[in-house]
Chain A
Amino acid sequence: MLNQFKNKPIRIALLLALPLAISACSDDIREVEVPVEVIVEVPAPEPVPVDISYEITVTNLTNSQPLSPVAAVLHADGNLFSIGDVASVELEKMAEGGMNDGLLALGMASTSGAAPIGPGGNETITVTVQDVTDAKLSVLTMLVNTNDGFSGLNALDLSTFEIGDTWTGLAGVYDAGTEVNSEAAGTIPGPADGGEGFSATRTDTGYVSMHPGVVTNDDGLSSSVLTVQHKFDNPALRIVVTRTE
């Protein structure tokens, strides 16, 4: 193998030298050495995409707030929400109605939970991306017995995660600021009411903030369909993220 490579440049050099010798002179034949640089282009091996996977376990820590199917989204940079910013329509649809399709489409890779997660329950989902080890992970879910309350993980930096590394965190509850917290009949999509989910009309403060909590009928909001069972405090979720490959 080594010899083959060694010989190749010489052969090529002779081929090139020959026409030169013939045309330049007929009497004294001189050997002309033409240095030829041969670049052997070895075709680069087709890179095999490497799967980078994260296992995400979300546990519902609330008393009576089912969580809408979780959206786990890997994105390159930025945030899917920030306190003080106006909520995107994708976030609004999730926070008001538990619909996560829009959020899932925002990432380079994403996975949806299979079903709502009941109080005390948990679900583990896996999100996989190819070759990217420095993505941001956002995890989002609605507390469905609220007007526009959601919880989750905001752009966790994965760049330092090695295979087997685990991160555990507790998440508070945010308010999308897109639907006023009336707690009124017909406005809450969860089982406490069975009311309307997403509505394009924005009726709240207009910006994302921490959630002030639900008041409930039992605690003095006479027009509320919620009871003391639906109260929650921070944190509302436990999230465990493990890089598995």
Chain B
Amino acid sequence: MKKLQQFCAATALAVTALPTLAADVTVEIQNITQGLHFTPIAAVAHTPDTSLFEVGEMASAEIQEMAEGGSLAGITTVATSIGADMLAEPTAGPLAPTEKVAGTFMTTDGNSVLSIVAMILPSNDGFIGLDNWEIPTEVGTYTIYLNAYDAGTEANDELVGSGMPGMPGMPAPPFLTLGTGGSGVATTEANATVHIHPGNIGDDSLTDGASDVTNSIHRWLNPVAKVTVTVN
């Protein structure tokens, strides 16, 4: 009986203490689309009072930089400054359709939520997003499906252009087969806050039409990514 009581006391202590304790977490991200690529992915464990992005709010300059060109430089700086734990391979190649990438990190005390972002290609300012998902304290494997968001920072003209923040057009890395000579699908962005991406329109011509993306390849339906989190 005494043993049991001791055991119970210890358990109670552990349960109350866990949310702030460090956790050993493995994150696997799979691109489940048929025709999109993802730029290198940032998975960030941070405190619940911060967030990388919020739907219905203006994207930060760092999210804009990621969503328009795939750069993780700004997000890395922010993550460091707020004491977040970050899993990222900024120099990794793109994640092709149905490919997976995984990493394991030990999260610091208090970094109890997980956020994930990466740009989707081809797009003007589309990204996969996970916003402040509470990391379970119970050991186990958890699955989350991610939608594609629009940063709201650039008109979706679907034309080959620039990946620099604030510059029109889409980045055109060599692994994408994109058209040229499109007239542009849109010139303005109706919703300037972060929102669910309306999707690519595309067209069926590589040399003219409205869009430089191909409608039978570069469209998608949500969800676009599968995240498997293992709390070790």
* A-to-B contact residues, CB < 8 Å: 83-84, 172-173, 175, 177, 181-183, 205, 207-213, 215, 219-223, 233-234
Could you list 28 examples of A-B contacts with CB < 8 Å?
A: A83-B30, A83-B98, A84-B98, A84-B99, A84-B100, A172-B223, A177-B34, A183-B216, A209-B32, A209-B34, A210-B32, A210-B34, A210-B221, A211-B34, A212-B33, A212-B216, A212-B218, A212-B221, A213-B219, A215-B204, A215-B215, A215-B216, A220-B204, A220-B209, A221-B204, A223-B204, A233-B221, A234-B221
CA A234 – CA B224 in complex, angstroms?
11
* B-to-A contact residues, CB < 8 Å: 30, 32-35, 97-100, 201-204, 209, 215-224, 226
- The CB with the most chain B CB atoms within 10 A, among A207, A210, A234, is that of A210
B221 engages A173 (CB within 8 Å)? yes
CB distance from A62 to the nearest CB of B (A): 12
- The CB with the most chain B CB atoms within 10 A, among A83, A172, A221, is that of A83
List, in ascending order, chain A residues with CB within 8 A of B219's CB: 212-213, 215
CB distance from B136 to the nearest CB of A (A): 19
A182 engages B216 (CB within 8 Å)? yes
CA A223 – CA B204 in complex, angstroms?
9
List, in ascending order, chain A residues with CB within 8 A of B98's CB: 83-84, 207-209
Residue of A nearest to B36 (CB): A212
B32 engages A220 (CB within 8 Å)? no
CA A175 – CA B32 in complex, angstroms?
10
List, in ascending order, chain B residues with CB within 8 A of A173's CB: 221
- The CB with the most chain A CB atoms within 10 A, among B201, B215, B217, B223, is that of B215
Q: A83-B30, A205-B34 are in contact. Are A234 and B222 (CB under 8 A)?
A: yes
Apart from the given pairs A210-B32, A221-B204, 7 other A-B contacts in the complex at a CB distance below 8 Å: A84-B99, A209-B34, A212-B217, A213-B221, A215-B215, A221-B216, A222-B204
